[in-house]
Amino acid sequence: MAGIARATKIEYELRLKIVLEMLLEGEDVGRIYSFAIKAGWGVGFDQIRKYIEEAQGRTLKALEVDRVKVFSLDLARREELYRKLYAIGEYKDALAVLQDKGKLLKFYDETMRHILEVRAGGQDGEAGDYSVYSDAELEEGIRDVRKFIESQVERGRADKRADKPGAGKTKS
């Protein structure tokens, strides 16, 4: 009995593409098998299952995300957005970008933890038990950090106004 010829590399890749498209359209293994029979692929049910597994495996691999690269790109986008907003004098929006970046970096959590450790530890910034602070005290500390950031942005605004031509001149 003569065996059925194996699919060429091109045929195999085309079949995987078709199987993937059918899976994405919601087709089940039975419908994919029926399609393969009608298309004359000359394969059995087990081979269809192998095509499905291969198509799914390739899809998962293609969708894997390099979290470090994505995180770095997100930070770079925020830096660029901040730079553009600050350059055109949109300070409130620039501050919002800084705050968003701070949240992404967990800056507020880390800064507050450090502030509270120094407060609780006493001298020389020794770590202490900051769990003794109430939620209200923690929130107050976060507000203090935000006020500090906002004051820095306001200072930047004032510096920018002072740098504009004609700033500080009085009319005679």
Task: Give counts: helices (H), strands (E), the chain.
Answer: 7, 0
Determine the Cα–Cα distance for residues 26 and 32; give it in Å rounded to an integer: 10
Alpha-carbon distance values, 155 to 64, 95, 127, 149 (Å): 43, 12, 32, 10
Closest C-alpha among 69, 53, 64, 52 to residue 18: 52
The DSSP call for residue 164 is S
Question: In 30-159, which ranges are E strands?
Answer: none
Residue 91 is predicted with a pLDDT of 86
**Inter-helix orientation angle 45-63/29-39, to 10°:** 110
Burial of 23 (0-12, 13-18, 19+ CB in 10 A): middle
Per-residue pLDDT in tens (0 to 9) along the chain, 172 residues? 345 678 899 999 999 999 999 999 999 999 999 999 999 999 999 999 999 999 998 888 877 777 788 888 888 999 999 999 989 988 889 888 988 888 887 776 766 666 666 655 554 444 445 555 566 766 676 677 777 777 777 777 777 777 666 655 554 4
pTM strictly above 0.85: no
Domain-by-domain residue ranges, the chain?
Answer: 9-63, 67-163
C-alpha Rg value of the chain to the nearest Å: 31
